[in-house]
Amino acid sequence: MKLLLTGAGGFIGSRLLRLALDRGHQVAALDFPGTPVPPAAAGHKAMSWLEGTLSEAPWKSIEAFQPEQCIHCAWTTAPKFAYDSPEHFRCLQDSKLFLARALDAGVKHILGVGTCIEYRIDRAPLVEDKTPLEPVGAYAESKNGMRAWLQEQAPQRGFQFGWGRIFYVYGVGEHPTRLCSAIIQKVRRKESIVLKTPQSTKDYIYIDDVIAALMLMAERKVPGAVNIGTGLGITIFDLAQTVEKLLGKSGLVQKADPPVPDPLDYVVADSTRLRMLGWQPQHDLERGLRKLIEAVP
């Protein structure tokens, strides 16, 4: 399959690029000018590395490639942009224009990357066709806006689309300020950690399992929204204590008193639909954290 991949140098995109090439696909990989080619893809005969942005893409090269499917990973992300940054809405508009042009170039299927916080958050697992959508904040609102636009345009323009709602992804290659890496660094330095929302429960999923799920959706052209999560929740306190245990430390993790209210206090996937496609996670939390610990200095 000929894949047009945006955000190909990012945390998710770079691994998706490598897996797509390993599985025999041809990939036109787009990222900002100056972004280094991921080492695992450098020099690969089936990969064309394209420099550009969503608003200024190299359309002659893309059209010559004749993509069949676009996997749209490019977005403005933390920590460069906060979740409430208006830049997310700019990215939404740029994405609409880019994907409309990609459809003109022959793309017949689009796989978008969404977020679990598009849902209304309550104390129950989040289900694709049951849990109401109630995105709050620029990031969640713009992501949901992208999905709504695809849903509206698909019947009008005759293409199919899938939407992978990713839960709390972590793993080797993540930004050092992300929660798991930050905790690892503090525990290594034997620094006290005061957790503001210790009982907040999240669905943490290792990066390689996310990539496997997205590739499964792309290859099967799975329609509609699919939760990309394990279906298992863990409190931030228990996660931090797991890091302590794996590093042979204890007594560093403390709970704020009183804790700070978290509007996203229970964000756990119902992963039934993804598992029915044949997906199974290859990493439980301890295995994933061990890999991350080995990589974080």
Write down the H helix ranges in 33-106. 59-65, 87-104
Quick: pLDDT tens for 64-121: 999 999 999 999 876 677 888 999 999 999 999 999 999 999 999 999 999 999 999 9
Mean pLDDT of 136-152: 97
Q: Check pLDDT > 80 for residue 280.
A: yes
Q: For residues 240 and 246, what is the distance between their CA atoms, to the nearest angstrom?
A: 10
Q: For residues 209 and 292, what is the distance between their CA atoms, to the nearest angstrom?
A: 14
Burial of 260 (0-12, 13-18, 19+ CB in 10 A): exposed
Percent of the chain at pLDDT exceeding 70 = 99
Tokens found for residue 211? 């990539």
Tokens found for residue 147? 């999905």
pLDDT at 124: 96
Architecture of domain 174-202+232-268+282-295: Alpha-Beta Complex (3.90)
Contacts of 47 (CB under 8 A, 6+ apart): 17, 21, 26, 27, 28, 29, 41
Q: Against a cut of 0.85, is the pTM above it?
A: yes
pLDDT at 77: 76
- Looking at every residue in the chain, the average pLDDT score rounds to 96
Confidence class for position 262, pLDDT limits 50, 70, 90: very high
Percent of the chain at pLDDT exceeding 90 = 95
Considering only CA atoms, which of 180, 235, 170, 256 is closest in space to residue 207?
170
Considering only CA atoms, which of 94, 40, 41 is closest in space to residue 72?
94
Contacts of 99 (CB under 8 A, 6+ apart): 70, 72, 107, 110, 150
pLDDT at 82: 85
Q: Check pLDDT > 80 for residue 201.
A: yes
Architecture of domain 2-168+204-228: 3-Layer(aba) Sandwich (3.40)
Confidence class for position 40, pLDDT limits 50, 70, 90: confident
| Residue spans per domain, the chain | 2-168+204-228, 174-202+232-268+282-295
pLDDT at 79: 67
**Whether 88 contacts 76, CB under 8 Å:** yes
Amino acid present at 271: S
